[in-house]
Amino acid sequence: MQAPVKTRWWRHEPALARLVRDLVAAELAAARPGRPLPVPSSWPPGLDLVADLGADSLDLMGAATSLADLLGFARAGMEDALLAQTGLADWIACARASLAREDGVLTFRTSGSSGAPKRCAHTLADLWREVDELARLLPGRRRVLAAVPAHHIYGFLFTVLLPQDGAAPLPVLDLRASSPAALAAQLAPGDLVVAHPDFWHQVAALAPGFPGDVAGVSSGAPCADATARTLAATGMRLLQVYGSSETAGVGWREEAGAPYRLLPYWRRGAQENTIERGDQGFPLQDRLEWIDAERFVPDGRIDQAVQVGGTNVYPAYVAEVLALHPDVRECVVRPMRPDEGARLKAFVVAGEGVATAALRQELDGWIAERLSPPERPAAFSFGPALPRGPGGKAADWIIDAWN
């Protein structure tokens, strides 16, 4: 039986092309940090991944694997279709052919902000159910302006499916090549801006005036209450969506500091720190303070232990100890990638005017006095800001690329 027309999102060529471009760009950037790439929205239809972007066989294999996993090429019997091609148009055509055979499930990957990236499968029916609810909260939209990639679940929901929720697809404009300072000049009544908290923070710092009937969405990380209040004062209706790659959207709010309201098909889980949909339970990354059966407030992340030398250690605690050093402005701690080792690593943003070489030496003594050997990071990287992905969420880093 053929699926309803609404579910065949991939027949809309701009949406499918944007998803493929964004995924390939992200994979190429991750494979070789520091390699300059043109903004995906500027890639011409005739682009060749090898000739124009310098991709090699390993780059192609990584990108092909990720795209095939996201769209379910194996379920369509097309596992090897991409590696025989190097043209962007060919990859888009392969994606379309695979989805024409099987499009019922998409598998997104977490950003790895609390460990190694994880595969998260969602049925298309569940994703459309969420979009239907969100569309009711955002009526009258005429355009979507996107500052997030389409291949992550947040971007897919709001820049691929939601624009196709009405009678005709809405145009989607890419904001990633322009400055947040230029946002107000690009807006018109009926616009929806899909962005992440860092983007909104930069917009709010400029305190622009917005046209009437403009809405925004923020997700992927907490949006500061001060940012949300500033945007509201300057005419932006901001919808904050709470969720994750594992759950998709769980709840929403419009007022800064207010509790989130559950989307109607979710309920509080019987087990602590879980949420339920139908007969399925999902673990949460945050502790939730429940106001009542329909409203909640996030109450801090649940620290996850990792093993180092057979000992449970807590990266978040190690980061807190490092952050106590007076010359450390910010830091984050993660387990090393498998190819980097089996210890913890730290990324440190030094205070203003602090020499990182001197700080590195000081941190050895600092952690020796305060942390057990398994807890001590074995590699330190330094930079002007903590690593973040295109959606503004915390991201992993490669040690050699920052040392």
Which residues make Cβ contacts (< 8 Å) with residue 300, sequence separation at least 6? 286, 287
Q: In what order do the strands lie in the sheet with 280-283?
A: 267-268, 274-277, 280-283
Does domain 306-402 match CATH 2.40.10.340?
no
pTM check: above 0.85:
no
Per-residue pLDDT band at 133 (split at 50, 70, 90): very high
pLDDT number for residue 403? 53
4-60 residue pLDDT tens: 446 699 999 999 999 999 999 999 988 876 678 899 999 998 999 999 999 999 999
Classify domain 123-301 at the CATH topology level.
Rossmann fold (3.40.50)
Torsion of CA 141, 145, 148, 150, to 10 degrees: 70
293-321 residue pLDDT tens: 999 999 877 756 777 876 678 898 899 99
| Every domain of the chain and the residues it spans | 5-103, 123-301, 306-402
